[in-house]
Structure 1
Amino acid sequence: AGVVVVPLSGMAVAAASLRWWTPAQSNFMRIDDGPIAYQYVSIDHISRYVIASAVAHEDDLLGLRKQAFHWGDFADRAAAVLSGERQQTYSTIPQQLAKNMFFTPDQSMLRKAVEVVPSVALRATMSDARIMELYLNYAQFGPDLYGVCAASWYYFDTPPSEMYPYHAMQLAGMLPNPEDVVRLPGGGVDTSPDAPYPSAAFHINGAANVDLPARFDAWGGWQNITASLGIEDSAADHADARPSADSCSTMPDSVRERLAVEDPGFVSAGGM
């Protein structure tokens, strides 16, 4: 038992330290064969459309739930895994963040059980806004592509502070199948019926055209979603702080280098 307790207690401390500490990489990024495209961006410089879209798509009760997850949902997921049945409930944002930071993509029941410890620590020690800042910085948005800073520039040649609502909803639709997202030459996402990965295209199209517009309407507008997290300002309110190291106001070098190989004819409106 001691072999398990010590690592778990250390994991809880590490999770709690994320309230102040921003690691250079998540565990998912460390085990990625790479090279990866990534750059940190402060939540001050992330469009509120992006925040609202990610919450509505992945965990729309984040700002209304005091726990990291509902224990009944966790029990249902555990039963589904053990029985080999399809899961009817999904990981919350605190659970996804804990997985990205401390674990691997393995879907074993043991990992799901251990995941409880950092998930609870994250929920107990930090604000919803901080959870979303970390989540959007470490979430995967494509093969070897992490964080909303790299994703907004890679797909849309746009800083995350200036994302259009439709593009923000497309980014949220990438989250379930990030390894299968395909960028179009010149920019944009391949969501055509004959896309190389139709499952990813289905998720992105569904999120942007059906699911998220309906969820925003049910909330009485996307602004109510961000308000539920305690976020009532806008990225534009922080424009005076740009450019800065954490604003992602110019294309990251890792994205620039990747596009030079993948799309050599592409010229960024930002001066690439």
Structure 2
Amino acid sequence: MWRTLAVLLAPVLVLQILAFAIAAGFTPSRTAYMLQSRHGVIYEYVGLDHISRFMVAATIAHEDQQLGSRAGAFDWEDLMARAEAYRRGEPDPSGSTIPQQLLKNMFLWEERENPTAIRKALEAGLSTQYSYTLSDQRMLELYLNYAQFGPGLYGICAASWYYFDTPPWAMYEYNAWQLQGVLPLPDLVRRAPHGGIDLGPDAHPAVKNLVNGAANVWLARQLEGMGGMKAAIATVGITDMASDHAAQRGKDSCSTMPQSVRDRLDAEAINPPAPAPVD
């Protein structure tokens, strides 16, 4: 019996040790989603101090407005509503919170359509555990470093350079809004030939709808409802701007284009990516 109990508790202990290590500053160089990527991995870490506050505010407003005020990883009523919808085979009535998305990306497997009950349960348990260990700012920093923004493209450092040829601390507000529309279907997103997100005739219709909707409709409304950019970032305790940290732009600031991004751009200059297939 004791051996069985030890086997069951060992993964929990390992994940708890990892939680404390991550809270203290350890940043895994690869996530479970990265290891499952069919397109390679383009990624470079960047500290939260060096990420545009436009991007931070847009992420909070679009992905999880209660991140800074909620106790735990999610609201239990929302979770029960999602579970009931899953049981009935109905559409999900609410999206995952930032802690849920982060822990799914870090430790679980990809199921973009019809995720299984076991993965949902693991996601809920892990995100709850980590939400009481990591600060909101640390959770947000990891999320922005591990989110997928294109085929094999992970994190805001790589995304900012790949699409907009700029470091993440210099990103424009509109570009930050556009990237929120990329998050639901990153494998279908393509870079425009001369930079930016491809929204031309060959772009996937769903990508055009999501990116244009986020950039031209949803983010303006969501941020207005939160009181603006500064009010949005203040919900997680951020009161400064990325420019306030200019003197500290060292190796974690993503001040130059990552080599993996440059290699992708060079390869695409020779062989442009094919349009994403339309189902």
User: Taking structure 1 as the reference length, what is the TM-score of the superposition?
Assistant: 0.92
TM-fit CA distance, 1:11: 2.5
Deviation at 1:264, TM superposition (A): 4.8
1:175-216, CA deviations, whole angstroms, 9 ceiling, x for partnerless residues? 111111111001011224x34311122111111100000111
Determine whether 1:160 maps to 2:168: yes
Amino acid at match of 1:238: H
Taking the aligned partners of 2:69 and 2:157, their CA distance within structure 1 comes to: 27
Normalised to the residue count of structure 2, the TM-score between the two structures is: 0.90
Q: 2:230 aligns with which of 223, 231, 241?
A: 223
- RMSD between aligned residues: 1.7
Q: Secondary structure at the match of 1:239?
A: helix
Q: State the AA in 1 paired with 2:159.
A: A
Moved more, 220-229 or 250-259: 220-229
CA distance in 2, matches of 1:217, 1:42: 27
Ranges of 4+ aligned residues in structure 1 off by more than 3 Å: 1-6
Q: Alignment partner for residue 47 of structure 1, among 31, 39, 52?
A: 52
| Aligned match of 1:239 | 246
Question: What is the one-letter code of the residue matched to 1:59?
Answer: D
| Helix, strand or coil at the partner of 1:249 | coil
Q: 1:170 touches 1:205 (CA, 8 Å); kept in 2?
A: yes
Give the counterpart letter for 1:63 in structure 2. Answer: G
Identical pairs, percent: 47
Residue in structure 2 matched with residue 270 of structure 1 by the alignment:
none
Change (3 A) 1:68 1:129: same
Q: CA deviation at 1:14?
A: 2.2
Do the aligned residues in 2 keep the contact of 1:156 with 1:188 (CA within 8 Å)? yes
Q: Are 2:185 and 1:177 aligned?
A: yes
What CA distance in whole angstroms lies between the structure 1 residues aligned with 2:20 and 2:154? 22
Q: Equivalent residue for 1:211? A: 218
Selected match of 1:105 from 80, 102, 110: 110
Does residue 129 of the first structure (1) align with residue 137 of the second (2)?
yes
In the other structure, the counterpart of 1:253 is 259
Aligned length: 264
Amino acid paired to 1:169: W
Matching residue's letter, 1:6: A
| Preserved CA contact (<8 Å) 1:16 1:121 | no
Q: Does 1:7 align with 2:11?
A: yes
CA change 1:13–1:218 in 2 (3 A) is same
Indicate yes or no: 2:42 matched with 1:37.
yes
| 1-structure distance, mates of 2:261, 2:46 | 14
Distance 2:243 2:138 in 1: 19
* One-letter amino acid of the structure 2 residue matched with residue 70 of structure 1: D
Instruction: Give matches, 1:36-115, under 5 Å.
Output: 36-106=41-111, 107-115=115-123
* Structure 1 residue ranges without an equivalent (≥5): 267-272
> C-alpha displacement at 1:169, in angstroms?
0.5
- Alpha-carbon deviations, 1:232-271, whole Å to 9, x = none? 11110011122x21010000000000000112599xxxxx
CA distance in 2, matches of 1:208, 1:7: 41
